[in-house]
Structure 1
Amino acid sequence: MRASVVFLLLCSSLVWGQPIPPTPFELEKKQSLPDSRTIGDYLTTLDTLSPRARLVALGTSAGGRPIQALLLSESPPFLRDFVGEPDKPTVMMFGSQHGNEPSGAEALQRLARELVAGEHPELLHRLNLVLVAMANPDGRDLRRRHNANDDNTNIDYVALQAGETRLLVEALHRFDPDVVFDAHESGIWKRVLTRELGWMTDVEAQFDVGNNPNIDGPLRDYTESKLLPELIARVSEAGLAAVRYRGEITSLDQAVSRGGLGITNLRNYAAMQGRVSILVENRLDNKGGTYATPRNIAERVRKQHLSMLAMLQLVADEAEPLLTVSRRARQQWQSAGAAGRTLWMGMSFDVNRDQPEITLPLVHFADGHQELHRFRNRDAIVTREPVTMAAAYAVTRERERVARWLASHHIAFETILEPRELLADRLEITEVRKQPEAQPGVREKVQPEVMVNREAVTLQRGDLLVPMSQPLAPLAALMLDPRSANALYQEEGWNWLQPGEFPVFPVVEY
């Protein structure tokens, strides 16, 4: 209550020319976290104070809390109509998709305050920003990972079961960012690694980019070979030890790889749309430690803020090549395979034969000393079942439900109005194998054995036809094809993978 009163008094004095007020978190001397309503009030204040800011409602969460985007730009057309500029990247930044990782929301508020106050002027001169400080306000207020319906929105980008995920997908199309930045925190205390074996991880900042092998080839090459190494170098030079993302280390005898390959997460989903997509996971400190602020929250926010600033400065410096590769990818996808039309239905991590082992630092829980440990390195991406992009996909089951799902993804489709004959590759599932354990890199629960039969097919009134001539064709194909490890049918509520002729299939000619 005291913080809210002080905050309102500060805001009311702004008309008399007082400086931009601190964030609610800063007002509390970084000793407690404000709730989502207080954060929303603060973003509204920034909107009111600056002609370079505009707060846009995206919708409401499962628990009825507002989800908003704060736009920051020197461009009136961008603020008014969300129109991008030929030579200026649009960067969309998400904080706290997981409610128990709060530092991203605080760092984005701090960044917004600084920009409204005139700090980092070169950034607004060179970039348009869309800041979604609280992607999961339910989790924020409930102090938990998921939303009020217990949905993990962070891995919902195929099924779009949660309203929050649908809102964020809609926002991607509304603002059409060239860059998507997703801020997370990663805990250093693990049940087996720490409690049973006595070690904690020791990573301050780890970064990854879209790594699904079906991402536009030139875009993936640019982000993987140029942008990611440069970002890691800049953050490290700024004093925060940064590395390429290595995933969760939960035991000394496990193998390590990278961030997941599947398109159920925002990083790969956005990259499959043709956007530069970056993940950061900063350190989430142990609950039992002794820090200047609760659970070292002030230091965690500092690290997130530093990571964000380094990313924005790099994007501004890389504007010309970044815009070239990202905007071309959004218009004309080109695979890394032969003739630029190859999709890989299967993928996983395997042993890196060039570097089969890797040495990583761990910290001894009892006395804090650091020690290097060797792990098996399984970060080589292995692909299987290459398929040439079809002319279209036909859908003959639960057509209204699929139509709503396609529309939520902004994937174009046609509803057949009268019987139409076409040449298709009918897919017959001959066997469905339940995976004994999760495949490294993807959430493939079952794997179908599929036989392909090319034949003439007659679509009936009400069937759907999804053309592969559209920009989102590779994304649509990976989600619709039952052979794909990223297929919709791997998701809860879509268990269509049963022996027999499959109701969704590629169309060769129509």
Structure 2
Amino acid sequence: MTPPFGERPRPTTAPGPRASGSRSGRHRVRGLALAAVAAALAVPLVTAPSDAAHALPRTGFEATDGARWTGAEEERSLLDAVDRHSDRVSVDRIGTTRQGRPLRLVRIGGGRTPALTVLLVCSQHGDEPAGREACLTAIRDLAYATDRATRALLSRTEILVLPTANPDGLSAGTRGNADGLDVNRDHLALRTAEARALAAVIRDRAPDVIEDLHEYGATPPYYDKDLYVLWPRTLNADDRVHDESERLAERHVRPAALDAGFSSGRYGIWTDPVTDSPLKQAAGDGQERILRNAAAVKHAIGLLVESRADALSEAERADPALGQRRRVQSQRAALKAVFAYADEERDRIRAATARSRAAGFADRGPVYLGGADNETAEPGEILADPPCGYRLTADRYADVRDELALHGVTSRPDGDGDGVYVPLRQPARKMIPLLLDRRATYHLTNGQPDTAC
């Protein structure tokens, strides 16, 4: 029987029960962290600085009071400006789309001491632009901020931003990329240039927190909040990573959205319009090909944020700029909460992500090929006693070598022939069966399980 919405079932074979307290009530965000973030993101969305000589670069969205979205050249101009202005900012090209557009990664802060790393992935779906606008203004605000609180935040936090994760889709106004593929369903197979570039960033920069910014279409009156959020539901998430992700969503981002005047709920859950009690789940499962879940399998605290794209009122229908400003402002409220959480809870975050990365070397515990934190895995979806590793023939390894490398999976020559052996005893332990076990829904190739441990 499926447990109530939002509760993680105890799998048939699993480690011990979760630590208590992960589902308690609303948590008050401490004033110091919020003050730092409020200062960092204090530049108004649509108001120009009064001193033209010191005017900050603005997005096309801001320049038109939200009447249109920022164009590709306007984005390039803004990123060039912040890169020139601030030595705390660098902009790198990390890939190229099928149609030749650049994939740019912006790095802000970090300092010289070991830093917590936050990664923002903005508008993987090209027809969901509000998250991108929030990311572009956040980049600018952080780059130009001069207050002490922001300098302190950036001295101990590295913020990475992929402001346009799907440039071809953005240009065409389509959900998918130039090949018609959904980038947010490609974080296992890595068929798209966009997902491959992002996988390399996650492998090389090992972010502690990943926020994935999206938009959704409402279904009133059951599914029509201003802002929906969700943590990774995959059962392959380390317990502490899962619980910290849920804590970020429920105790930080949702309360911050409410404080900013926006309604908020859990993504994928329809609720009764009178009692706000859950009615059914329509989205938000545990499949790891989605970034929200892939992030957790790769040891990051993950968060999905979805702003409502539909007009809320007759006024918004008459003047679309009203609704577009509301969409961006709700995303900015979520960003502020994520930055405050990262600054306030860095010790908890680092402990959770470090434990998750180290757990793979222990090489014990089940791996799940299905199920979610609110959907019990079927017995056939549980590798209760996973193999020691997988053997690949030379031909099969050649077919998936690049993808394994992008996922951070290590291998060694197989002593029994010219093939390759992929041991599970490594940080990518729970990712490997998803890629190589023939029973996994989205596996890349059929590896031969080695059970002779």
The TM-score range, normalised by the shorter chain, is: 0.7 to 0.9
Write the mapping of 1:468-487 to structure 2, written as runs, cut at 5 A: 468-485=424-441, 487=442
CA contact (8 A) 1:73 1:124 kept: yes
2:221 is the alignment partner of 1:222: no
CA contact (8 A) 1:246 1:258 kept: yes
Which of 385, 389, 393 lines up with 1:388 in the alignment? 385
Distance 1:68 1:27, change over 3 A: same
Deviation sequence 1:430-487 (CA, Å, 0-9, x none): xxxxxxxxxxxxxxxxxxxxxxxxxxxxxx32x22101111111111222112234x4
Distance 1:348 1:216, change over 3 A: closer
Structure 2 residue aligned with 1:24: 60
Once residues 342 and 74 of structure 1 are traced to their aligned partners in structure 2, the CA distance between those partners, rounded to angstroms, is 36
Opposite residue 70 of structure 1, the aligned amino acid is: V
Which of 180, 187, 212 lines up with 2:234 in the alignment? 212
Structure 1 residue aligned with 2:79: 43
Shift, 1:380, TM fit: 3.9
Shift, 1:247, TM fit: 4.8
Once residues 213 and 451 of structure 2 are traced to their aligned partners in structure 1, the CA distance between those partners, rounded to angstroms, is 41
Once structures 1 and 2 are overlaid, which stretch shifts more, 40-49 or 238-247?
Answer: 238-247
Distance 1:483 1:295, change over 3 A: farther
Q: Determine what percentage of the aligned residue pairs are the same residue.
A: 25
Shift, 1:99, TM fit: 0.5
2:431 is the alignment partner of 1:488: no
Compute the RMSD of aligned alpha carbons. Answer: 2.8
Structure 1 residue aligned with 2:201: 171
Opposite residue 227 of structure 1, the aligned amino acid is: L
Distance 1:235 1:29, change over 3 A: closer
SS of 2:211's partner is strand
CA contact (8 A) 2:269 2:283 kept: yes
Shift, 1:348, TM fit: 5.5
Once residues 434 and 110 of structure 2 are traced to their aligned partners in structure 1, the CA distance between those partners, rounded to angstroms, is 38
Structure 2 residue aligned with 1:112: 139
Shift, 1:319, TM fit: 0.8
Shift, 1:238, TM fit: 3.0
Structure 1 residue aligned with 2:448: 505
Deviation sequence 1:364-420 (CA, Å, 0-9, x none): xxxxxxxxxxxxxxx44445334223221112363310223312322111233x6x2
Once residues 279 and 261 of structure 2 are traced to their aligned partners in structure 1, the CA distance between those partners, rounded to angstroms, is 30
Shift, 1:42, TM fit: 1.2
Distance 1:286 1:17, change over 3 A: closer
Deviation sequence 1:51-74 (CA, Å, 0-9, x none): 111111111112111110111105
Structure 2 unaligned blocks of 5 or more: 1-47, 272-277
Opposite residue 244 of structure 1, the aligned amino acid is: R
Once residues 164 and 74 of structure 1 are traced to their aligned partners in structure 2, the CA distance between those partners, rounded to angstroms, is 25
Which of 143, 155, 167 lines up with 1:137 in the alignment? 167
CA contact (8 A) 2:65 2:321 kept: no
Write the mapping of 1:361-372 to structure 2, written as runs, cut at 5 A: none
2:274 is the alignment partner of 1:274: no
Write the mapping of 1:70-219 to structure 2, written as runs, cut at 5 A: 70-73=106-109, 75=111, 77=112, 85-86=113-114, 88-118=115-145, 121=150, 123-188=153-218, 201-219=223-241
Opposite residue 356 of structure 2, the aligned amino acid is: A
Which of 413, 423, 437 lines up with 1:415 in the alignment? 413
Structure 2 residue aligned with 1:400: 398
Opposite residue 218 of structure 1, the aligned amino acid is: R
Opposite residue 73 of structure 1, the aligned amino acid is: G
Structure 1 residue aligned with 2:34: none
Opposite residue 179 of structure 1, the aligned amino acid is: V
Once residues 92 and 321 of structure 1 are traced to their aligned partners in structure 2, the CA distance between those partners, rounded to angstroms, is 17
Once residues 143 and 260 of structure 1 are traced to their aligned partners in structure 2, the CA distance between those partners, rounded to angstroms, is 26
How many equivalent pairs are there? 389
Structure 1 residue aligned with 2:37: none
CA contact (8 A) 2:360 2:426 kept: no
Opposite residue 203 of structure 1, the aligned amino acid is: K
Kindly indicate whether structure 1 or structure 2 has the higher relative contact order, using CA contacts under 8 Å at least 6 residues apart: 2
Once structures 1 and 2 are overlaid, which stretch shifts more, 91-100 or 304-313?
Answer: 304-313
TM-score by length of 2: 0.79
Distance 1:74 1:411, change over 3 A: closer
Which of 332, 344, 351 lines up with 2:368 in the alignment? 344
Once residues 236 and 328 of structure 1 are traced to their aligned partners in structure 2, the CA distance between those partners, rounded to angstroms, is 32
SS of 1:201's partner is coil
CA contact (8 A) 1:187 1:286 kept: no
Once residues 119 and 128 of structure 2 are traced to their aligned partners in structure 1, the CA distance between those partners, rounded to angstroms, is 19
CA contact (8 A) 2:257 2:330 kept: no
Distance 1:178 1:124, change over 3 A: same
Shift, 1:19, TM fit: 2.9
Structure 2 residue aligned with 1:311: 338
Max Rg structure: 1
CA contact (8 A) 2:248 2:338 kept: no
Opposite residue 403 of structure 1, the aligned amino acid is: R
Once residues 272 and 163 of structure 1 are traced to their aligned partners in structure 2, the CA distance between those partners, rounded to angstroms, is 21
Once residues 402 and 166 of structure 2 are traced to their aligned partners in structure 1, the CA distance between those partners, rounded to angstroms, is 23
Distance 1:141 1:257, change over 3 A: closer
Shift, 1:95, TM fit: 0.7
Structure 1 unaligned blocks of 5 or more: 1-9, 78-84, 350-378, 421-459, 495-502
2:282 is the alignment partner of 1:285: no
Question: Where is the strand percentage greater, Structure 1 or Structure 2?
Answer: 1
Once residues 334 and 204 of structure 1 are traced to their aligned partners in structure 2, the CA distance between those partners, rounded to angstroms, is 42
Once residues 475 and 47 of structure 1 are traced to their aligned partners in structure 2, the CA distance between those partners, rounded to angstroms, is 36
Runs of 4+ in structure 1 over 3 Å off: 286-289, 291-295, 379-383
CA contact (8 A) 1:97 1:134 kept: yes
Distance 1:21 1:329, change over 3 A: same
